[in-house]
């Protein structure tokens, strides 16, 4: 017999929000059955309308707030919550920082690692206008090309001009580019029909240099009036030192295609990070919050505790942002990255900063780590900054084989971090100091952290 849920679709009920999910949705429990409520905060008593009731959980809409949290703050733009750009903007910033620490604590408890300590989240003095990069969709809206974003979980386009979490100058440049594209009658991309030209507008800005890059991401190779459009962008925005076209002809959610060509100016912008200078190309991975990245990377280098005679491996090195900081304190740094352009950028950045104690290679972290281990490279420290999926079991095994005294793990996903801490434990590595969360993405549910794993002497 099918087990009945305590609520059904279209029920109207009153409940108290007890928690927040890792996606930032309020949680109400009805006889132990969780209902997820977008926009609701812990402690709030809410009248709910049930939208969906699956076997194990359901979704409900807040119809009326009977009580509101003292931590609720006025929302500047409800669209930023709807699109998922700033899903926590209605929550006071100190509460966001506590929530992000709790995300890490809860995951450790689930993994029976509750004995590990978690420090307070390192926040920002100004938790808005921090992003140095934007990738905004262009679509036809009310008969003309418009930039904006999609409602979360849908393809419903919402026109936006102020994104609040981006560098304000980026928002200004996006609007200038939008107006120029309108002037030249460039058609916006139509997702359903796979027609039109402009798919996205990407803008990057150097936090210290002020240099701006504009990348027009097109469905077609040909962009009619490209020379005039790029000239007008630079004329109206003199801080734009690079205008590029990226071609993505595929029906895909992936933003960038494989081909990028310079329309005007350079193929990179330059910026500084912890006193080092970096060339950043269109496809480079470069952290989007420069203020917090300086704190995060400085802390990672500090925790590596280098004295000048060590060999260090930087897996997932990207364009060398962490590698170069490590090189100032180590004897030799080896970096590996799967993206060839990133390795070219890393080598150029080493030359730019007159650092000659680095070696960069293109390859997967797993295979390159195995090769280096077989070649007798014995790092004192390995630094990892992997994507959200974390480290593979093969990488962890290969890393342990080189027997570093210390592994400094920069994580953008606490779930995979906790899993990897368990795997490193099987290889004889343990966490002896508090995990340190960093708020790289204020107003969102994301949390980064830095953790040190040390070899347990047998």
429 marked as part of a ligand binding site: no
84 membership: H or E segment, kind and range: none
Q: Rounded to whole angstroms, how far apart are CA atoms 170 and 203?
A: 6
For the chain, the residue count is: 458
For residues 24 and 47, give the distance between their C-alpha atoms in angstroms, rounded to a whole number: 19
Give the angle 142-144-147 at the CA atoms, nearest 5°: 95
Structure tokens, 442: 């204020």
**Tokens 């707030």, located at residue:** 65
φ, ψ dihedrals at 111, nearest 5°: -90, 10
| Nearest of 430, 313, 289 to residue 383 by alpha carbon | 313
Residue 117 tokens, joined: 């300590």
Q: 265: alpha, beta or left, given left = phi > 0 and alpha = psi -120 to 50?
A: left
Q: Which is it for strands 311-315 and 332-337: parallel, antiparallel or unpaired?
A: parallel
Is 342:411 a contact under the CB 8 Å cutoff?
no
The dihedral through the CA atoms of 346, 350, 353, 357 has a sign that is positive
Whether the CB-CB separation of 197 and 219 falls below 8 Å is answered with: yes
Q: Is 171 one of the annotated binding-site residues?
A: no
- 273, 293 in Cβ contact below 8 A? yes
Q: Which of 319, 412, 431, 453 is catalytic?
A: 412
Residue listed under structure tokens 């999609």:
150
412 is catalytic: yes
Strand 381-384 with 311-315, pairing: parallel
What's the helix, strand, coil split of the chain in %, to 5?
Answer: 25, 30, 40
Is the separation of the CB atoms in 148 and 137 below 8 Å?
Answer: yes
Is 316 flagged in the annotation as binding?
yes
The runs of H, that is alpha helices, within 267-413 are 290-304, 321-327, 340-352, 365-374, 393-401
337 annotated binding-site participant: yes
Instruction: Report the binding-site residues.
Output: 287, 316, 337, 385
User: Which of the residues are catalytic?
Assistant: 412
Binding residues for S-adenosyl-L-methionine: 287, 316, 337, 385
């Amino acid at each position: 017999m099918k087990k009945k849920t305590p609520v059904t679709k279209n029920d109207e009920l009153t409940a108290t929000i007890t928690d927040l999910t890792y996606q930032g949705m309020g949680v109400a429990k009805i006889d132990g059955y969780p209902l997820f409520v977008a926009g609701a905060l812990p402690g709030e008593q809410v009248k709910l309308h049930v939208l969906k009731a699956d076997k194990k959980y359901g979704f409900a809409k807040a119809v009326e707030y009977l009580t509101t949290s003292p931590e609720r703050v006025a929302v500047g733009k409800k669209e930023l919550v709807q699109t998922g750009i700033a899903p926590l903007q209605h929550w006071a910033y100190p509460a966001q920082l506590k929530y992000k620490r709790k995300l890490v604590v809860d995951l450790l408890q689930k993994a029976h690692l509750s004995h590990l300590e978690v420090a307070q989240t390192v926040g920002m003095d100004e938790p808005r206008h921090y992003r140095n990069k934007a990738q905004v969709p262009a679509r036809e809206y009310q008969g003309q090309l418009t930039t904006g974003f999609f409602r979360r979980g849908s393809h419903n386009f919402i026109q936006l001009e102020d994104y609040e979490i981006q560098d304000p100058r980026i928002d200004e440049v996006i609007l200038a580019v939008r107006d120029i594209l309108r002037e030249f009658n460039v058609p916006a991309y139509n997702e359903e029909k796979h027609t039109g030209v402009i798919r996205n507008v990407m803008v990057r800005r150097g936090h210290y240099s002020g240099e701006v890059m504009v990348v027009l991401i097109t469905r077609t190779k040909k962009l009619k009036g490209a020379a005039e459009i790029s000239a007008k962008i630079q004329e109206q925005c003199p801080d734009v030192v690079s205008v590029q076209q990226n071609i993505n002809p595929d029906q895909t959610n992936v933003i960038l295609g494989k081909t990028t060509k310079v329309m005007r100016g350079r193929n990179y912008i330059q910026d500084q990070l912890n006193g080092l200078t970096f060339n950043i190309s269109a496809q480079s991975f470069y952290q989007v919050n420069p203020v917090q990245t300086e704190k995060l990377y400085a802390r990672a280098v500090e925790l590596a505790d280098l004295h000048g005679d060590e060999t260090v491996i930087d897996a997932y090195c990207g364009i060398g942002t962490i590698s170069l900081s490590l090189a100032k304190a180590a004897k030799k740094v080896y970096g590996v990255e799967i993206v060839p352009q990133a390795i070219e950028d890393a080598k150029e950045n080493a030359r730019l900063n007159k650092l000659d104690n680095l070696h960069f290679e293109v390859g997967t972290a797993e295979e390159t780590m195995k090769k280096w281990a077989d070649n007798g490279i014995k790092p004192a420290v390995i630094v990892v900054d992997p994507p959200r999926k974390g480290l593979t079991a093969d990488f962890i095994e290969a890393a342990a084989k080189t027997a570093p005294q210390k592994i400094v793990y920069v994580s953008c996903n606490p779930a995979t971090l906790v899993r990897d801490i368990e795997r490193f434990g099987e290889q004889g590595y343990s966490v002896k100091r508090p995990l340190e969360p960093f708020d790289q993405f204020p107003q969102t549910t994301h949390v980064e952290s830095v953790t040190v794993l040390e070899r347990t002497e047998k």
